[in-house]
Structure 1
Amino acid sequence: MTASTVVESGTANHAIVSRDRWIAERKALLAHEKELTHLHDRIARERRALPWVRVEKRYVFDTPDGPRTLADLFDGRSQLIVQHFMLGPGWDQGCVGCSYMADHTDGMTVHLEHRDIAWVAISRAPLVEIERFQRRMGWKFAWVSSNGSTFNHDFGVSFTPEERERGEVYYNYDMQAFPHEEAPGISVFYKHEAGEVFHTYSTYGRGVEVMMGAYHMVDLTPKGRDERNTAMEWVRHHDRYELAPSKKAAASAGSCCASHE
């Protein structure tokens, strides 16, 4: 085919070129990818250089092994990553987007543990509701309840009725409208040898995409994320995908947690 040849496909009219032309354009893209890699490395260094905040408040969580403090959740390690999982009291099921993130977790925890990192999901729902949904989804990772504490609110992922009535809440380091009582996020903590715990980092909104390995794999494909209305509109709980999903169904739903920058 010549450089001007076009193929009709579901990805719209796409140019078809010679291999030499493709290599030239691919190398131009590679230069941009290298820029992104170097920028990612620089931001990672800046992230590690952030100052820390001592966690003064004593948080206690309901866990399958009984009450545990934040320091206990490190499970003998010095670093802790928390997924703020959107599952509020009385919810029938967890947020679709948070569930999509959690689908990536069980396979990576052994690798994190060998990098001195503990991982836990924390939700405001009571433990019995967490465990019911966890059994449905077949997950094995650690998941505890912050119900009865201010942990979720203090780390910017739960909002009081009064805050929501004002029309804006403080989320992702700014005042903004947010449609839910719970929000997604990831927080990181460090515990030194004396047992003191420090908050080192949190990310919200699209920052949580760092946990979505499959999302990044989708970005490699010709169709990409194929999202036209809202972010993650095609994502479902993994036990709710249709065998032959219709385009109409895919366009009608979206994640509750990934539409905010």
Structure 2
Amino acid sequence: MTTTKQPLPSVVSLEEWKLALDQFLVKEKALTRARDALSAERRKLPVVKVAKNYTFQGESGPVSLLDLFEGRRQLIVYHFMYAPDWKAGCGGCSWVADAMTHPAHLHARDTSLVMVSRAPLEKLEQYRSRMGWAYPIPWYSSYESDFNYDVGVTTAEGEKHGASVFIRDGNTIYRSYFTGARGVEYLGSLWTYLDLTPFGRQETWEDSPEGWPQTEPYGWNRRHDEYGV
């Protein structure tokens, strides 16, 4: 009977492992600091006013882009690829939805997270039921709306995935950021979503413009059923 040896990283002594790990962690910490600096630069990006009115279909009927904020200052829209004639939603977008954080943590930072697709609402609800997503991330249909076209995720080449960030001043809405392609790969935790927004994590250590809302770290976050207690 023949056996195939499975590939394995180098096996070393404990001392050699600790040395290699310590050397690697220096590089990893440098990457973390570089990512923090990039997020700070993102928070200082200009914004563009959303001039057009859009209508979406949700579980409770037609809603506007302003309604998607649910009264909060910031809104993250995940553009879930699901064309009207598709039999199922995009597999890669389904992975992103599988990993989405519990929305309560984002709500505690005045931020809403929703998904938007072009497929009719009935298809979205059927697919959500099939996937059995545990967290109540709202999912809206932009069917018969220009929204997907205007934000650049439906083009002559077809559907694209991505994440758009919006911020409002009263009833006036601005678009602050967009990422697509591999830019969505690291999304999942509340931190990665908040890092996309103009206000960021809203903690005092962040390099943010003067007047941005900020509190001490580790003092505001709770278990998802403890906010408001």
Q: What is the TM-score of this pair, normalised by structure 1?
A: 0.68
d(CA) in 2 for partners of 1:14 and 1:132? Answer: 44
Tell whether 2:147 aligns with 1:151. yes
Report how far residue 90 of structure 1 moved.
Answer: 2.1
Equivalent pair of 1:86/1:95 in contact (CA under 8 Å):
yes
d(CA) in 1 for partners of 2:39 and 2:141? Answer: 30
Moved more, 45-54 or 61-70: 61-70
Q: What SS is found at the alignment partner of 2:10?
A: strand
Tell whether 2:175 aligns with 1:199. yes
Tell whether 2:59 aligns with 1:64. yes
Equivalent pair of 1:85/1:122 in contact (CA under 8 Å):
yes
- Aligned residue in 2 for 1:83: 78
Identity of aligned residues (%): 42
Match for 2:13 among 14, 18, 22?
A: 18
d(CA) in 2 for partners of 1:118 and 1:28? Answer: 39
Render the CA deviation track for 1:161-214: whole Å, top value 9, x for unaligned: xx33xxxxxxxxxxxxxxxx2111001000112x1000000100000113246x
Render the CA deviation track for 1:5-42: whole Å, top value 9, x for unaligned: xxx853x2532111111111111100100110000100
- Aligned residue in 2 for 1:52: 47
Tell whether 2:132 aligns with 1:138. yes
Render the CA deviation track for 1:134-171: whole Å, top value 9, x for unaligned: 11112332000011111111111112xxx33xxxxxxx
Equivalent pair of 1:100/1:212 in contact (CA under 8 Å):
no
Report how far residue 103 of structure 1 moved.
Answer: 1.1
d(CA) in 1 for partners of 2:84 and 2:22? Answer: 51
**Structure 1 counterpart of 2:26, one-letter code:** A
Equivalent pair of 1:61/1:69 in contact (CA under 8 Å):
yes
Q: What is the TM-score of this pair, normalised by structure 2?
A: 0.77
Of structures 1 and 2, the one scoring higher in RCO (CA 8 A, sep 6+) is 2
Q: What SS is found at the alignment partner of 1:134?
A: helix
Q: What SS is found at the alignment partner of 2:152?
A: coil
- Aligned residue in 2 for 1:101: 96
Judging changes above 3 Å, is the alpha-carbon distance between structure 1 residues 201 and 9 closer, same or farther for their aligned structure 2 residues? farther
Query: Equivalent residues in 2 for 1:158-197 (5 A)?
Result: 158-159=154-155, 163-164=156-157, 181-193=158-170, 195-197=171-173
Equivalent pair of 1:80/1:189 in contact (CA under 8 Å):
yes
| Paired residues, number | 185
- Aligned residue in 1 for 2:115: 121
Q: What SS is found at the alignment partner of 1:144?
A: strand
Tell whether 2:184 aligns with 1:208. yes
* Structure 2 gap segments, 5+ residues each: 190-229
Judging changes above 3 Å, is the alpha-carbon distance between structure 1 residues 198 and 85 closer, same or farther for their aligned structure 2 residues? same
Render the CA deviation track for 1:40-97: whole Å, top value 9, x for unaligned: 1000001100000000111111111111110110001010000000111021111111
CA RMSD of aligned residues (A): 1.7
Q: Which runs of 4+ in 1 moved over 4 A?
A: none
d(CA) in 2 for partners of 1:203 and 1:94? Answer: 20
**Structure 1 counterpart of 2:169, one-letter code:** H
